[in-house]
Copies of this chain bind each other. A is one copy, B any other.
């Protein structure tokens, strides 16, 4: 099967590929738990959070896609399958049943904080290896930090 010519050397490729795949797993999981909360949510702020969570889903799916395609671009296969996500994600477990609106807000403050922490590690790690990938992780961080603000503002 075809071997991709990477624009990066072997070492940089490993470092950046690892950072991108970690980000991918977290973002896919974030999109799944945001949908989970979007459906199972109850409480007075139902409608407002129901809409807000779908905005999170839409943006996170785009970010995940960009990051996965960047991984391919540097010659590393991305892995966003359910089992991989279930095993490696930094996103805390989400309850299986109805969730109260106030708990949803707290949950996403925690979940976003965890993912942002890993993304910022990735930014640091990729700085010398590949500015193009780093730029993409910075963009993802900016987006998630803005969502974090919003959940904090209303908690």
Contact of A120 among B7, B47, B52, B80 (CB under 8 A): B7
Q: Using an 8 Å CB-CB cutoff, how does the interface string of A12-50 with B read, 1 for contact, 0 for none?
A: 000000000000000011001101100111111111111
Question: Do B2 and A153 touch across chains, with their CB atoms under 8 A apart?
Answer: yes
What residues of B have a CB within 8 angstroms of the CB of A32 in the complex? 28, 80-82, 85
- Tell me, in angstroms, the Cα distance from A155 to B79 when the chains sit together: 22
A146 at the interface (CB under 8 A from B): yes
Q: Name 16 A/B residue pairs within 8 A (Cβ), A-sorted.
A: A1-B100, A2-B155, A4-B149, A5-B152, A32-B82, A39-B71, A39-B72, A40-B78, A42-B154, A43-B153, A47-B49, A48-B48, A69-B146, A72-B149, A74-B145, A77-B96
Interface residues in A69-102 by Cβ distance below 8 A to B read 69-74, 77-86, 89, 93-94, 96-98, 100
What residues of B have a CB within 8 angstroms of the CB of A131 in the complex? 123, 138
- Tell me, in angstroms, the Cα distance from A52 to B93 when the chains sit together: 31
Question: When A and B form their complex, which 6 residue pairs have the shortest distance between CB atoms, in order from nearest?
Answer: A46-B154, A82-B86, A82-B85, A83-B86, A46-B153, A73-B149
Contact of A81 among B42, B49, B65, B96 (CB under 8 A): B96
- Tell me, in angstroms, the Cα distance from A78 to B38 when the chains sit together: 10
Question: Do A45 and B154 touch across chains, with their CB atoms under 8 A apart?
Answer: yes
A127 to chain B, nearest CB (A): 9
- Tell me, in angstroms, the Cα distance from A79 to B39 when the chains sit together: 9
